[in-house]
C-alpha cells in the first residue's frame, strides 16, 4: 500500500504536497518523497521514515515549482533500500519525469525480463520503475502520454494507481479495474489528484470526484481534463480499503469509509445471543465498527483499551521479552471498565492472530469475565497480490483453521466475523464490482495458479502505435486471460 499525490498550483506546491502526504501517512510509514518542477529544473527530496521525519521547513522551501508529486511508501514489492523510495525520477529526451505508484503489478518479472533482453538496466527493485520504462518506451515512439498510458493499460497486469509529473504537467491514471483508490479535487489556485479525499480536505480543497477505473487525468496551470482509456465490464474495488486501509473520514468510490464500517458493525450485531455489558473497540482500527455494533445492539460503547498516541515505530526494546511486552505500552486496559464484565471487543480484521491473542490476554489480566471477539471482515483466507501487505496462506491464521480453532488459538470466549454478504451490503456495491480475493481466493485477474473471475477490458484510446513486437509474449498472455 502507498499514498500518492500530484498537485498543480500557481502558488507553489511543496508545502501543499507535504500536507497532503501528512494526511495520507496511514497508507505508508516506511519512506516519503516529493519531486517538484520549476519550469527548468526538477527538485526532489526523499528519505526513510515518516513525513515529519523526512522533511523540514528549509527543505520544503528548496523544492521550488508550481507542479509536483509526492509519495508515502509501505512496501509490498521491492526491498527496503534507499533506491526504492519514490517518486522514481529520470530524464528522458530532455524531459523530467517523476513517477509515483500505489498498487502491485503481477507481471513485473516478465516485463523486466523483456526490457533486460533489450539491454535496459534497472536502478531499483520496484514495479514502479517498470511503469516508468513502459511510459518512456511509448513516449519514444508516439511522444504522447495518452498513448503511453494506453500502452500501460495494454501491458500491465495487477493494480496501479499512478501519478506522473512530466515537466510541468501532472498525469494520473487508475487501472481498468480501479483496484486502488484515486480521486481529484479543486484547490484555490489549482488542482490535486491523490489516493484519498482526506488529502483534498487537508488543503481546504473541494472534492471533485473519484478517478474512474481506466481513466487518465491531466492537470496543469490551465486546469484539469479527463480521458477514458480503457473500460472493464466490472471494476474490482478492493474491499480491504473499506475494512482497514483507508482513513475513516475518506470518501472512496462514493462511500464514506466511516459509514461503511459503522454498517459492518451493525451487521455484526445481528442475531447475537450473548449478553454483554459493554462494546469496546480495539483502537483505532475497530472504532467505527464498534460504534455501529453498539448502536444496533444497544449495548453501551465503552473504551476498554486506551492507545498511547505517542508510541512511535522506533520504540527501542533491549530484549525479545521486552518487545513482546511492548503491547502494554501501546495499549492499556481500562480496568474499571472491564473488571468482572462481559466485553464485546471489536476489531477490523485478524491477520496472523497475534494482535487479537495479546489484546484478549490483556483484557483477561485486567479482570474481564468474558471477551467476545467480533471482527469487521470475513475470515481472511488467501493472500493479497494486488497491493495490501498480507502474509502468505501459511501465515494467515484463518486460511486452514475453522472458526472454533481460531477462537481457541486467540483465547476468545466467542469469535464471529461479518459475513461476505453483509460486508458487500455495507459497502453498498454490486458484488461483481469488488475484489474479494483475500476472502475467497478468487481474484479479478489471472494470477499464477489462483482461481480467477475475469473481467473483460476494452481499450478505447485513440492513436495507439505501440511497438507490440517487443511485448508480444506478454500481450498474448494478457489476451489469453480475458
Ligand atoms: P495480526 O496480529 O497479524 O492478526 O494483525 C491484525 C491487526 O493488524 C488488526 O488489528 C488490523 O488492524 C491490522 N492490520 C490488518 N491488515 C493489516 C496490514 N495489511 N498491515 C498492517 N496492519 C494490518
Locate the ligand 1 atom nearest the alpha carbon of residue 358 and give its number. 2
Grid-cell match 516529493, residue found:
34
CA 354-356-361 angle, to 5 degrees, is 100
Report the 10 Å Cβ neighbour count for 232. Answer: 20
Question: What is the four-CA torsion angle of 232, 234, 237, 243, rounded to 10 degrees?
Answer: 180
CA distance 162 to 149: 10
- 61: part of which helix (H) or strand (E)? helix 57-62
Q: Select from 3.40.50.20, 1.10.3720.10, 1.10.10.10, 3.60.20.10 the CATH code of 3-236.
A: 3.60.20.10
Grid-cell match 516508468, residue found:
132
Question: What is the four-CA torsion angle of 33, 39, 41, 47, rounded to 10 degrees?
Answer: -10
Mutation to probe ligand 1, out of 246, 264, 349, 412 (largest number of atoms < 8 A from CB): 349
- Determine if ligand 1 sits within 6 Å of the CB of residue 48: no
CATH number of 258-427: 3.40.50.2020
Write down the pLDDT at residue 461. Answer: 57
Locate the ligand 1 atom nearest the alpha carbon of residue 347 and give its number. 10
Q: Is 314 left (phi over 0), alpha (psi -120 to 50) or beta?
A: alpha
Query: C-alpha grid cell for residue 21?
Result: 502526504
DSSP-assigned beta bridge partners for residue 342: 370
Write down the pLDDT at residue 386. Answer: 96
Query: C-alpha grid cell for residue 80?
Result: 527496503
* Residue 2 annotated as catalytic: yes
CB contact at 8 A, 8 and 218 = no
Mutation to probe ligand 1, out of 289, 331, 351 (largest number of atoms < 8 A from CB): 351
In degrees rounded to 5, what are phi and psi of residue 300?
-60, 140
Report the half-sphere exposure of 340 (CA within 13 A, side-chain side).
0
Distances (CA, A) of 238 to 44, 215, 242, 403, 424: 31, 17, 8, 24, 11
Distances (CA, A) of 247 to 47, 295, 355: 23, 21, 20
Nearest to 416, CA basis, from 426, 406, 424: 406
From ligand 1's centre to the CA of 472, what distance in Å? 40
From ligand 1's centre to the CA of 352, what distance in Å? 8
Grid-cell match 514489492, residue found:
77
Tens of each residue's pLDDT in the chain, 482 residues: 899 999 999 999 999 999 999 999 999 999 999 999 999 999 999 999 999 999 999 999 999 999 999 999 986 666 778 889 999 999 988 999 999 999 999 999 999 999 899 888 898 888 999 999 999 988 888 878 999 999 999 999 999 999 999 999 999 999 999 999 999 999 999 999 999 999 999 999 999 999 999 999 999 999 999 999 999 999 999 999 999 999 999 999 999 999 999 999 999 999 899 999 999 999 999 999 999 999 999 999 999 999 998 876 555 666 767 766 777 888 999 999 999 999 999 999 999 999 999 999 999 999 999 999 999 999 999 999 999 988 789 989 999 999 999 999 999 999 999 999 999 999 999 999 999 999 999 999 999 999 999 899 999 855 444 443 333 333 333 333 32
Q: Nearest C-alpha to atom 5 of ligand 1 is from which residue?
A: 351
Chain CA centroid to CA 390, Å: 12
CB contact at 8 A, 143 and 94 = no
**Extents of the domains making up the chain:** 3-236, 258-427
Amino acid at each position: 500500500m502507498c499514498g500518492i499525490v500530484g498537485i498543480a498550483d500557481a502558488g507553489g506546491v511543496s508545502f501543499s504536497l507535504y500536507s497532503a502526504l501528512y494526511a495520507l501517512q496511514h497508507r505508508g510509514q516506511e519512506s516519503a518523497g516529493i519531486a517538484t518542477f520549476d519550469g527548468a529544473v526538477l527538485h526532489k527530496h526523499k528519505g526513510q521514515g515518516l513525513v515529519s521525519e523526512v522533511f523540514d521547513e528549509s527543505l520544503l522551501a528548496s523544492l521550488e515549482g508550481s507542479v509536483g508529486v509526492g509519495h508515502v511508501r509501505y512496501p509490498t514489492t521491492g526491498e527496503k533500500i534507499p533506491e526504492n523510495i519514490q517518486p522514481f525520477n529520470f530524464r528522458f529526451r530532455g524531459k523530467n519525469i517523476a513517477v509515483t505508484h500505489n498498487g502491485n503489478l503481477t507481471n513485473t518479472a516478465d516485463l523486466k525480463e523483456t526490457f533486460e533482453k533489450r539491454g535496459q538496466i534497472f536502478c531499483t527493485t520496484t514495479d514502479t520503475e517498470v511503469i516508468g520504462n513502459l511510459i518512456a518506451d511509448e513516449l519514444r515512439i508516439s511522444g504522447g502520454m495518452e498513448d503511453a498510458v494506453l500502452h500501460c493499460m495494454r501491458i500491465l497486469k495487477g493494480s496501479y494507481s499512478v501519478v506522473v509529473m512530466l515537466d510541468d504537467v501532472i498525469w494520473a491514471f487508475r487501472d481498468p479495474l480501479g483496484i486502488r483508490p484515486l480521486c481529484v479535487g479543486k484547490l484555490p489556485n489549482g488542482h490535486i489528484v491523490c489516493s484519498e479525499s482526506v488529502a483534498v480536505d487537508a488543503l481546504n480543497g473541494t472534492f471533485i470526484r473519484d478517478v474512474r477505473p481506466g481513466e487518465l487525468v491531466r492537470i496543469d496551470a490551465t486546469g484539469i481534463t479527463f480521458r477514458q482509456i480503457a473500460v472493464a465490464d466490472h471494476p474490482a474495488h478492493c474491499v480491504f480499503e473499506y475494512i482497514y486501509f483507508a482513513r475513516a473520514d475518506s470518501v472512496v468510490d462514493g462511500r464514506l469509509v466511516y459509514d461503511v464500517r459503522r454498517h459492518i458493525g451493525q451487521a455484526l450485531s445481528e442475531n447475537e445471543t450473548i449478553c454483554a455489558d459493554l462494546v469496546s473497540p480495539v483502537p483505532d482500527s475497530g472504532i467505527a465498527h464498534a460504534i455501529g455494533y453498539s448502536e444496533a445492539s444497544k449495548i453501551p460503547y465503552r473504551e476498554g483499551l486506551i492507545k498511547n498516541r505517542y508510541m512511535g515505530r522506533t520504540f527501542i526494546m533491549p530484549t525479545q521479552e521486552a518487545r513482546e511486552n511492548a503491547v502494554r505500552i501501546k495499549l492499556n486496559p481500562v480496568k474499571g471498565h472491564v473488571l468482572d464484565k462481559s466485553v464485546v471487543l471489536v476489531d477490523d480484521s485478524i491477520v496472523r492472530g497475534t494482535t487479537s491473542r495479546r489484546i484478549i490476554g490483556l483484557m483477561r489480566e485486567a479482570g474481564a469475565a468474558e471477551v467476545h471477539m467480533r471482527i469487521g471482515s470475513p475470515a481472511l483466507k488467501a493472500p493479497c497480490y494486488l497491493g495490501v501487505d498480507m502474509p502468505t496462506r501459511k501465515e494467515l491464521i484463518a486460511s486452514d483453521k475453522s472458526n472454533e480453532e481460531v477462537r481457541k488459538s486467540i483465547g476468545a470466549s466467542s469469535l464471529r466475523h461479518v459475513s461476505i454478504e453483509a460486508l458487500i451490503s455495507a459497502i453498498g456495491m454490486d458484488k461483481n464490482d469488488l475484489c474479494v480475493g483475500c476472502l475467497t481466493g478468487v481474484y479479478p485477474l489471472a494470477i499464477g495458479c489462483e482461481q480467477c473471475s475475469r473481467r473483460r477490458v476494452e481499450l478505447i484510446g485513440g492513436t495507439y502505435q505501440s511497438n507490440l513486437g517487443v511485448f508480444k509474449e506478454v500481450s498474448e498472455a494478457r489476451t489469453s486471460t480475458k
